[in-house]
Amino acid sequence: MAKFIMIHPDKCTGCKNCVVACSYEKENHFRPSASRIHVYSWEREGISVPMMCQQCSDAPCVSVCPTGAMHRVFGSSLIEYDSGKCIRCRMCVQACPFGNAVYDSVTDQIIKCDTCHDDPSCVIACPVKAIEYVEENVATRSRKKAFATKFKEAFQEVA
């Protein structure tokens, strides 16, 4: 079974431990601008949302890539990036509807989440489980159950 990174903005505290952990894992220093995950905070409302590559099945970054640098390995749910094939045309950067493929001028690379090859550092760093690495087919089960619980409680009140 394949896994993906699930976000829970309701739990996110905006601490950016995921952001620094990612930058350290990938670049060996702390540089949030090179992190593959970003956290945006709306301070008036007190809401924070983590964002990273969604590993789209029909990925625009793959479709527009003229050299096959951005590609999916057969049987994998990951979109992978081959720096050797990449001509730095930044078409993927333009195409990604989420803004999750980024060109980093410091390293001259396209940077995007690769789930740290099945062991995401951001997930390990999150102190409140606002990001989780979960099985795709059962990923939303707990979220569904949380809402089901509310229904259950409502019915119990009526009964």
Partner 1 sequence: MMFGWTGVILRVNLTNGEIKKEPTNMQDARLFIGARGLASKILSDEIDPKIDPLSPANKLIFAPGPLSGTMAPSMGRYNVVCKAALNGVIAASNSGGSFGPEVKFAGYDMIIVEGAAKKPVYLWIFDDEVEIRDASDLWGKNVPDTTDAIRAVTDEDAKVACIGPGGEKKVLFANIMNEMHRAAGRSGVGAVMGSKNLKAVAVVGTKPIEVADPEAFEKAVIDARKKISEHPVGGTGLRVYGTDVLVNILNGVGSLPTRNFHDGYFPSADKFGGETLTAKYLTRPKGCFSCIISCGRVTKVTNPKYAGEGEGPEYETAWGFGSDCGVDDMDAITKANYLCNELGIDTITCATTIACAMDLYESGYITLKDTGGLAIPFGSAENMVKLVEMIGNREGFGDQLAEGSYRLAKRYGHPEFSMTAKMQEMPAYDPRGVQGIGLHYATSNRGGCHVRGYTISPEVLGVPFKVDQHATEGKPQLVKTFQDLTAALDSTGSCLFATFGIGADELAALLSAVTGVHYSTEDFMKAGDRIWNLERLFDLKAGFTGKDDRLPDRIMKEPIQTGPSKGEVSHLDKMLPEYYKLRGWDTKGVPTEEKLQELSLI
State the residues that interact with partner 1 by CB under 8 A: 10-11, 13-17, 20-21, 23-24, 27-34, 40-41, 43-46, 48, 106, 125, 127-128
Whole-number minimum distance, CB 44 to partner 1, in Å?
A: 6
How far, in Å, CA of 89 to CA of 111, rounded? 13
Whole-number minimum distance, CB 49 to partner 1, in Å?
A: 12
Nearer to partner 1, 28 or 57 (CB): 28
Whole-number minimum distance, CB 155 to partner 1, in Å?
A: 24
Q: Which pairs with CB-CB distance under 8 Å and at least 24 residues apart come from 104-111?
A: 104/33, 104/34, 106/31, 106/34, 107/27, 107/34, 109/81, 109/83, 110/69, 110/70, 110/81, 110/83, 110/86, 111/26, 111/34, 111/36
Nearer to partner 1, 75 or 127 (CB): 127
Nearer to partner 1, 29 or 150 (CB): 29
